[in-house]
Structure formats: structure tokens, C-alpha cells
Structure 1
């Protein structure tokens, strides 16, 4: 029995020519893959959560149910934080650009955007207070002064440290979305 999904010489299937799920322009999507620092950080938080869950089980087995529930709640908070770390970043759709942070999400419609540009400037390294010289994709809004811009993504953020070509591709994609939807 042939396994067509494992062979490179399969015939073209016309049914696969339909629109893919990510072709929906109204769905929020990240224009880049999460970087190794983001994925590694979330993995470490999930590893910590596994130890905390083990402690909750140990506490439950020893008979201290209220302590076990408290520790279980802490583990669930750690898991939620790890998942939120994975969701952090810039997302685009036909409605606008969304910047997802650890504790907040900010959405700007394309009508509010004057310009999206890449600028050489001091940027924060891995989100820490230390700044280094790098590139940042900045968003200039109609309701703010042009000098009052915050970077959307930077070359030294958790997704792009050591991946300048990925930063360039992501910046180009966000700029293309802005150019397309600001015209409408």
C-alpha cells in the first residue's frame, strides 16, 4: 500500500489547490517564527511548572490538601505565563497591527498608522534594561508625535537575536501589510 504523504513523486492533487486556512486576511497572524530565546525561555518555565506540579502531588499525598491546591494554583500561573511568553510579539491582520506583551495587548488599526519604518537606534537586549545599537521596526501613529514611537520588533529582541535575516523578512512583511491596508 503506497503512502502518498511520504513520497516526493506523488501526482498533483487539484483538490489541494483550495485556499489554505492562513489565507484568511482577517485572522491575526505572526509574520515570523518565535525565536530560540522565546521558545527556550518558555520551555524553562514549563520545566519549572513540572517541578511545582510534582510538589503539588507530593503535598496532596501527604495529606496537606490546602497546601497542594495552593501549589497547584502556582503551577497553573507558571504554565499560563509560559504560554503567554510564546504568544508575545507582533501580530498583523487586515484590521491592524497588534503588539502582545506579557501583561498587555495593544492594537492599532491601519487607519491610525502613518508609517511603518525600520530605524537604526539603541534597542533593548532581550527585553532587559541594557541597550545596544541595533535596528527597530517602528510604528508612527496619526494621534502621536512622529518622535513618540515605540519599536514593534528589534534585532536584539527575544525573537531575532542572531537572526538578522529573520528580522529583515519580518520587517518587510509588516511594512507590506501596512502599505496594503493603509491605502484602503
Structure 2
């Protein structure tokens, strides 16, 4: 019995002349999807925030509004942390490469980048102090060509743990962006 809803509808692929809004190369984009570990951790933080918000409502109904405001502010802080966790990663655009960490965001223009390459090195497992052998995507900048910079992506971070092929695709995509914009 054929199931027509399981077959791919290719009618939208025929219209290649339609530019989607996300095809704008000047817009910052992450060339890979966030990994399941990152999404799961953010979901747990948002679940915690929902319990804290519920507690803020209970406190507002039974206690002073000032204490409810403190708990509400704590819930907002947890929500912001979860959203920042989801935003972490490497972003690219025609202007350069942006590395978003939890507290710091660094943007490097393409003209200051010497190379973006994949190296075999000990990497941190899920950002913890324990190191394991893996691959890392590193950025070599003009002003710091001799220094070893922190890796942009690793095979053992929240996005790529257990997904080596996804790491390879993401690294290849970022390297292709670097090669294209360093030439131009």
C-alpha cells in the first residue's frame, strides 16, 4: 500500500530562482545544527526555569512582592542562560567568523584570518577538564600566527559528541567559507 505522505514533494525544489531570506550571505548564520547534548541541556535549564517561575507565582500570591520579584529575576536569569547556551558556536557571514562562547563573543574579519583547519589533538570532553583524543577546528589569525588559539569546534563538544560525520560536514563548510572569503 503506497503512503503518499512519506514520499518527498519535490515541487518546491524546481523554483531555484526564489531567494529565501536565509540565503543572504551578509547575515550571520551557524553552518550546522546545534547538537542533541546542547539542546537537551538547554531544555533542562528551561524546565528548571518553569519550576522557578511557578514558585515565583506561588510566592507572589502568599508572600511579599519583593521576594517574588527576586525569584522571578532568578527565573529570567536561567532563561537567558539557556538561550545563550543555544546560541553558542561558530557563526559565519561575508564579514567574518564569529565565535560565540557562553560569556564572550569574538568576531574576526576574513582578512585577518590566515587559515581555518582541522587538526588531530587532545580536546576537552563536553567542556570539562578531562581531555580525550579528537579533532578540532582551529583558527589561525594574522596577528597571532605563532600562538595556538582555542579550538572553534571539537568532536567532543556539546554539538558533535558521537556525531563525527556532522563535525566533518561543519568543519568542511567553515573551511570553505574561509577559503572563499580570504580570496575575495
Q: TM-score, normalised by structure 2?
A: 0.92
d(CA) in 2 for partners of 1:55 and 1:108? Answer: 43
d(CA) in 2 for partners of 1:123 and 1:56? Answer: 41
Distance 1:51 1:13, change over 3 A: closer
In the TM superposition, residue 101 of structure 1 has moved relative to its aligned partner by 0.8
C-alpha RMSD of the superposition: 2.0
1:159 corresponding residue in structure 2 = 159
d(CA) in 2 for partners of 1:9 and 1:114? Answer: 43
Give the ranges of 4+ consecutive aligned residues of structure 1 lying more than 4 Å apart after TM superposition. Answer: 5-16
Q: TM-score, normalised by structure 1?
A: 0.92
In the TM superposition, residue 71 of structure 1 has moved relative to its aligned partner by 0.2
In the TM superposition, residue 150 of structure 1 has moved relative to its aligned partner by 1.7
Distance 1:172 1:56, change over 3 A: same
SS at match of 2:34: coil
Distance 1:11 1:54, change over 3 A: closer
d(CA) in 2 for partners of 1:127 and 1:157? Answer: 6
Consecutive unaligned residues in structure 2, runs of 5 or more: none
Q: How many residues align structurally?
A: 180
In the TM superposition, residue 8 of structure 1 has moved relative to its aligned partner by 5.4
In the TM superposition, residue 20 of structure 1 has moved relative to its aligned partner by 1.1
Distance 1:35 1:64, change over 3 A: same
In the TM superposition, residue 9 of structure 1 has moved relative to its aligned partner by 6.0
In the TM superposition, residue 6 of structure 1 has moved relative to its aligned partner by 9.8
In the TM superposition, residue 21 of structure 1 has moved relative to its aligned partner by 1.2
In the TM superposition, residue 23 of structure 1 has moved relative to its aligned partner by 1.1
